[in-house]
A and B are shown apart, each in its own frame.
Chain A
Amino acid sequence: MSSTLKSLFVSLLIIAGFTACGPDALYDLSGDTYQLRDSDSTQVNFPADFRGDLSLVTFIYTNCPDVCPVITANMTNIQRELDDTTGVNFIEISFDPERDTPSVLKEYRNLYGLNKQFTMLTGDTTTVHPLLDKLDIVAVKTTIDSLGYDSTNYAMRHSNTLYLMDKEGYIRAKYPAHRVTPEHVKDDINYLRSE
């Protein structure tokens, strides 16, 4: 490759990079639509249906015995910390769509008393997995012999990630979902609100 061609190629790449990413975006979902289902089995176009609002997006599986309940509890703590929750969505996407059917998600949201601002999402593995890959969410089935785990009864090694998505569908901040303080997230939400 000649050096002129090379530099042309590089500058094209840079331009492509700039146009693809919004301001400070970790991930760009602004042009994507993933057809998922909520806990009422209603189709949800993610993230298009949440455009115009800020969204906190996290990832769980409902069979999670120890850590995911901490994540959900932290989401409700963040909700409680906000003086004003208008224009903020709380979204939990299952990375175990095979077991987490809409009705299972409904039980989970009832158990945790999650209100209407919460959306629990699942879907076909062919839709959910590409979304997880795009957002670097890791979820791997694991077995512990003594628990008699098998192909339908397993635990998972998984990311503990909470994202803050802006009104256009850009992921603007990333937090450890089980550990981030509600105050920290509140500050970032207020910052994005004032943009």
Chain B
Amino acid sequence: MKSTQHLLLILLSGCFLFLGCGSESNSSNESDSKQEVVLGKIAIDNAWARPGSQQGKSAAYLRISNGTASTDTLLSFSSDAAENVELHESIEHDDGTTSMQPAGQQVIPSGEKLRLQPGGLHLMLINLKRDIAVGDSLQISLEFARVGTITAIAPVQIQQ
């Protein structure tokens, strides 16, 4: 039951991605000659988020694959489940301790992947608008300098 729902969500989000890309390349074809057509696409997969409670925090992870012919840059992040989303990085210090800090702007060269995973880069979901529990899903939108905004669905789960 659960997995069928997930599958449906994933399929639906896939459709939205297609629609988004399609309309964008159309508009750039017609009018603005400065804006080039972007060949290929940027794909997001392996998205998931940790559970959290309203007004609290959570972390989300995903993988970005730049399948376009050029470098792209991550500009901003948002989610339907949080007031604010920031890109953070957990870093290990020389004394063996770990802390996290806001991460700088991420540039993804053509053909490369950027992995957001536990213990490294992660999206902090700040001030959650609702409780998010295992089995829920939330939307995460990433804005890129060239391809625009891409939205992924992240199921809420516990790390194994």
Contact = CB atoms under 8 A, between A and B. Distances in A.
Interface of A: 63, 65-67, 69-70, 73, 77, 111-113, 138, 140, 142, 144, 146-148, 155-161, 176, 178
B102 A146 contact: yes
A136 B36 CA distance: 57
Contacts of A138: 95-97
B46 to A, nearest CB: 16
Contacts of B98: 67, 157-160, 178
Contacts, number: 74
Contacts of B84: 146
B160 A144 contact: no
A157 B160 contact: no
Given A67-B100, A67-B118, A160-B98, 16 more contacts: A63-B57, A65-B122, A66-B122, A67-B90, A69-B159, A70-B159, A73-B158, A111-B51, A144-B100, A144-B102, A146-B86, A146-B126, A147-B124, A156-B99, A157-B93, A159-B96
Contact of B96 (A142, A146, A156, A160): A160
Nearest to A161: B96
A63 B101 CA distance: 15
A158 B97 CA distance: 5
B152 interface: no
Nearest to A76: B160
B126 A67 contact: no
B110 to A, nearest CB: 29
12 contacts: A65-B100, A66-B88, A66-B90, A66-B122, A69-B50, A69-B118, A69-B158, A70-B159, A142-B99, A144-B102, A158-B98, A159-B96
The 10 closest A-B pairs by CB, nearest first: A157-B99, A73-B159, A65-B59, A70-B118, A66-B90, A157-B97, A66-B122, A66-B59, A67-B98, A138-B97
Interface string B29-54: 00000000000000000000011000
B111 interface: no
B118 A66 contact: yes
B131 to A, nearest CB: 12
Contacts of A140: 97
B58 interface: yes
Nearest to A158: B97
Contact of B126 (A69, A73, A147): A147
Contacts of B126: 146-148
A128 to B, nearest CB: 17
Contacts of B119: 66-67, 70, 178
Given A73-B160, A176-B96, A144 B101 contact: yes
B76 to A, nearest CB: 13
B133 to A, nearest CB: 9
Interface string B94-119: 01111111100000000000000011
